[in-house]
Structure 1
Amino acid sequence: MNLLHIDSSILGDHSVSRRISAAAVAALRAETPDLKVVYRDLDAAPAPHQSGALMAARGLAPEARSAEQARDVAEADAVLDEFLAADIVVIGVPMYNFGIPSQLKSWIDHLAIAGKTFRYSESGVEGLAGGKRIILASSRGGYYGPDSAAASLQHQESYLRGFFGFIGVTDVEVVGAEGVNISPDHKQKALEGAVAQASGLSRTLQAA
């Protein structure tokens, strides 16, 4: 059983989403001691941005690529390979300006590969990456739930659910803390509640 742990916050040890994602991974490790975990910190080691140069390099035969092109394609391919190999993906995802961090968007861009994670057919788009469990360790400075006045500005969880659904992953859970910038007291309570929820993840893991 393989778990891919992704963090995308730029706040290091001060990050709420990192605390929540770490608690989720710890709970899953405790449940399945032989769980293999791969960790990728998208702030410390960002996935390469999509670019015209990268697209051009992909279009070349491997032997025709320069050393730099070969390195860039290998880095991008490694992102996809890690995701495809994972049975569970835990993603630390703060909300930045109503959406996800640009570091996380760059990572996601390497997952949307026709023929690998989705394909077009006469009946429409078919997701090819199903059978995975996605856990979003979410943090938000304000309140953006469905009953809040700012619900229409929430393009964080909604975007990720939409994207993973597009590639065939429908088992998406959210463990999150809202309103963490309202006050220090509320931040602490929200963090403690989310960490407790993450620590309680105990559904029996099934092989994909």
Structure 2
Amino acid sequence: MTTLLQLNTSLFSTGGQSSQLANAFVADWKDANPDSNVVVRDLATNPVPHLTGERFQAFLTKPEDRTEAQNREAAVSDELVAQLQAADVLVIGLPLYNYGVPSTLKAYFDHVARAGITFRYTATGPEGLLKGKKAYLFATRGGVHAGFPRDTQTGHVRDFLAFLGITDVEFIYAEGLAMGDAVAKPALEKATLAAHRLASRVAETRLAA
């Protein structure tokens, strides 16, 4: 059974434009894969705590050596890691906030980057341990940034996923959403159509495999 993990990271929860694009894709995915397992985590309604020194130390401590408090601290990360390990497909609704990722997504990233579990250090550098997964990202922006040096978000997310071993990554952008209806409406329509087409292409690829 294929498992899809969807992360909605908009501060507006399901009302966010990035969440709506991700939802459009996932709805088509479920129609094409009725036996698949879809897990949704909304980081607005179910946020991940920001990393602290105490929590990070709990990650580093061997399970058998942890205190009760450290077990509680590590349990959040363990749950998130298990979800990500079990997923074959990762879908992220990704708004751009102040030229970066939402802080809730950064907190999520900090909790799933676990040495020896989701990546490991080798003599030639780090190696991701979550290989063989596919990621689809639905990125929404108030301005127009894709393809310009100021779009540091795309590189950051792509590099982080590669750090974990997820290198098969595809972005769909909806930009200019704060530039008036004349720009925003067609941009959203184009991105929504792209999401539907992407789901159809993925379904066709799976059938041909």
Both proteins in one fold, TM over 0.5: yes
Shift in CA distance, 64/112, structure 1 to aligned 2, threshold 3 Å = closer
Q: TM-score, normalised by structure 1?
A: 0.90
Runs of 4 or more, structure 1, over 3 Å off, are 60-64
Aligned residues with identical type, % of pairs: 37
Structure 2 match to 1:3: 4
Question: Distance between the aligned counterparts of 1:48 and 1:110, measured in 2?
Answer: 9
**Equivalent runs, 1:6-155 vs 2, <5 Å:** 6-58=7-59, 59=61, 61=63, 64-66=66-68, 68-146=69-147, 151-155=148-152
Matching of residue 168 in structure 1 with residue 165 in structure 2: yes
SS of the counterpart of 2:7? strand
The alpha carbon displacement at 1:65 in A equals 2.4
Q: TM-score, normalised by structure 2?
A: 0.89
Report the AA paired with residue 76 of structure 2.
E
Shift in CA distance, 160/64, structure 1 to aligned 2, threshold 3 Å = closer
Question: Distance between the aligned counterparts of 1:177 and 1:156, measured in 2?
Answer: 14
Question: Distance between the aligned counterparts of 1:13 and 1:73, measured in 2?
Answer: 28
**Equivalent pairs, count:** 201
Q: Answer 1 or 2: which has greater helix percent.
A: 2
Which blocks of at least 5 consecutive residues in structure 2 are unaligned?
none
SS of the counterpart of 2:144? coil
Structure 2 match to 1:185: 182
Report the AA paired with residue 170 of structure 1.
T
Equivalent pair of 1:47/1:79 in contact (CA under 8 Å): no
Say which structure, 1 or 2, has more relative contact order (CA 8 Å, 6+ apart): 1
Deviates more, 1:134-143 or 1:177-186: 177-186
